[in-house]
Amino acid sequence: MISFPNAKINLGLNITEKRPDGYHNIETVLYPMPLCDILEINIALDAQFSFDSSGLIMDCYSADNLCVKAYYLMHQHFEVPPVKMWLHKIIPSGAGLGGGSADAAFTLKMLNKIFNLKLEKTTLIELAANLGMDCPFFIENLPALATSRGDMLTPLEFSLNGHTICIAHPDIHISTAEAYAEIIPYEGQISPATLIAFPASSWKEMLENQFEKTLFATHPRLQSIKKTMYDSGAVYSSLTGSGSAVFGIFNSSPNLLSKFEGMFYWEGKLE
């Protein structure tokens, strides 16, 4: 079986509170993107589990890959037989695009289907929460407001269809620890779910990713990419998540490949 785990972007991101458990409460709108990895899973005829990868180099050992962790989580709970897994990595790691989380969530969904486990979506979401904060989002894979640690999801009736999305990712990896190091949480911010109800042309002045305040200072290249997006006609541009990818929303294709030469660049029209 083959599937195509997709990326996501964050529309606004508020950090509202540091929790007693050391995590942070956030508010952000998650939106799926048609930028995809390729994941293949087949039953292991030799009864030996294996995982192989190609494409972009990943920043972890195979045993730490979220696809592998997702398999062993399912094996632990439902005794699923060994499988052969192959992941072709297209979504860059450490970019805030949720690629690893999508790979894990799609692994759960594929194993559920291959072995006819008949697990409900609620069960898959609970399992996904054990693998990472973004993982539950990719079970439903629909626009949602994410709150608490990012794992509490409220579906949203919202669409960016008709817009072109451009994503640029320089060779910069930002860890979660780095992203949160200088963050000062504060409550009372307007929820991104409220702000996206306004026209996208007004988001520039209202909808912000709080990580930009600190990460742009330490990585000025990211701020430069955002400026290029706006200079090229973006109606809105932002850092996504706590990573180092910057996206722009355009009314038509800007064809920015030459401006972001030497870095990862993706452009697609949402339909």
Query: Which of 8, 89, 109, 226 is labelled catalytic?
Result: 8
Residue 8 is a catalytic residue: yes
Which residues are bridge partners to 85 per DSSP?
A: 41, 51
By CB neighbour count within 10 A (0-12 exposed, 13-18 middle, 19+ buried), where does 63 fall?
exposed
Query: Which of 37, 89, 109, 134 is labelled catalytic?
Result: 134
Quick check: helix, strand or coil at residue 7? strand
If residue 128 lies in a helix (H) or strand (E), which one and from where to where?
helix 121-129
Q: How far apart are CA 134 and CA 138, in angstroms?
A: 7
Q: How far apart are CA 41 and CA 111, in angstroms?
A: 8
Q: How far apart are the first and last CA of the chain?
A: 25
To the nearest 10°, report the CA torsion of 256, 257, 259, 264.
120
**Residue 213 phi, psi (nearest 5):** -60, -40
Residue 21 is a catalytic residue: no
Q: Among 220, 214, 242, which residue's Cα sits nearest to residue 96?
A: 242
**Residue 27 phi, psi (nearest 5):** -135, 125
Q: Is the distance from CB of 188 to CB of 25 less than 8 angstroms?
A: no
Q: Is the distance from CB of 244 to CB of 170 less than 8 angstroms?
A: yes
Q: Is the distance from CB of 265 to CB of 256 less than 8 angstroms?
A: yes
Q: Which residues are catalytic?
A: 8, 134
